Chains A and B, each alone.
Chain A
Amino acid sequence: MSISVLLQKQRKRGNEASWTPYVTVQIPTMNEAVALRCAEKCLEFDYPKDMYEIIIGDDSSNPDVSRQIDEFAAQHPKIRVLRRGTNSGYKSGNLNNMLKHSRGEIIVLFDSDFLPSADFLKRVVEPFAKDEKTAGVQARWKFTNAEQNLVSVLGSTIVEVFHRITLPFVFKRRRISFLCGSAEAVRKDVLAKMGGWDHGNLTEDIEYSLRLMKSGYRIEYLEDLECDSEVPYKPKDLYRQQMRWAYGVVSSYKKHAKDIYSSKKIGIEDKAYISLVCSGYLMTILLAGLFITGALSIVTHRPEPIDFGKFFIYTARNIALTCGLMVASLIAVAKAKKASQTIKMLAASFSYGLIVAYHVNIGIYKALLNRPMKWYMLSKGGGSSQTKTNTA
């Protein structure tokens, strides 16, 4: 019996290692020539060349960028370019269009500024072989320009907290994770069965993650598999990115919260951890609320001489009670081996961070009030910044 069990285990391991499904790599883009840099990296995957294809979903309105993409694709037969002639549904609309033309059993997604390593494809498909219920795999994001300026330091810190603290903690405790929109892989049949990506959703990754959890599927987080990418380095880009993410997360959570809490497929602990992950932006709402109610409380206080000692003691106490996110940021920065950036991170948090908090609050209120949100293209490696209004 023991030998039989050992042999079965070895056979299973062998099957996992040799499992090479046909994969479609999708790169959605709009007016970003930087997508070609990503496609170039995808051509270097150490994966059987006949077992994957690359699709660039080009929504560009700039003919120069489209021409560059066409010229590149003409030199590389592995690359197909799909165009819709519209940007309807934004990224999720583009992904749904590519889904219709994808031949892969597994779909791997990259935003145009991502630079995967040669072994990325091989490693990202591995978890699918272990468990049929695994419908998604997310790799960790890493930034090539994190130290560019205070804005990029702050932007990278926000994501580092999610990728180095929140996701690893939740995944290790409950084997729960979320897709992040790039450097991720999904099972095509499950995605098709679930009706594809939510058309027009600004964070289609979080929305799909919640749908998968509701249906009893799993998402794996690969802490050891990192993928290089860029972080906004212009203040306006960071504000817009964070506002869009806050809007998308709150909209998606609002849409599925009732089903998740009433679902019998999800345990109480899992429900708590899902809420914890989705509550990351709640802290900014709370801080804004504390600032407003605190100021009003002082203004309406009975007139009396100001006791500065008491004021500073209470202020220090309140900061100490609410500094959890800052502690998480410091640890995330240290884990990312960027402890030298600590001073810059603190400076960025108390300068640009306050404006980011304002925009995050705007995003959350818009989501709660069902107001439409603008979609912004961010500057990436020389890409241009454009805006469209989401009427979906």
Chain B
Amino acid sequence: MSARPESGRSDWTDLDLLTRKEAGERLHAEIAETRARLDELGEADPQARAALEQRLSLLRARAGDLSGG
């Protein structure tokens, strides 16, 4: 068994987790970007529009989950 102290370990230094706040900010930025892409697309490409609308819906749901949690 090794007895090196916790303070001497380095795995932890990589553990900079996304906070709820940062995750929420990223989601809202992505929602805004997706809406802008939808506006830009207009009715030009129904398939691309459907994909973006689906993504927007997922992003909004996830943002709602986080703010509700």
The finding on whether chains A and B are genuine partners in a shared complex, rather than unrelated, reads no
A contact residues vs B (CB 8 Å cutoff):
none
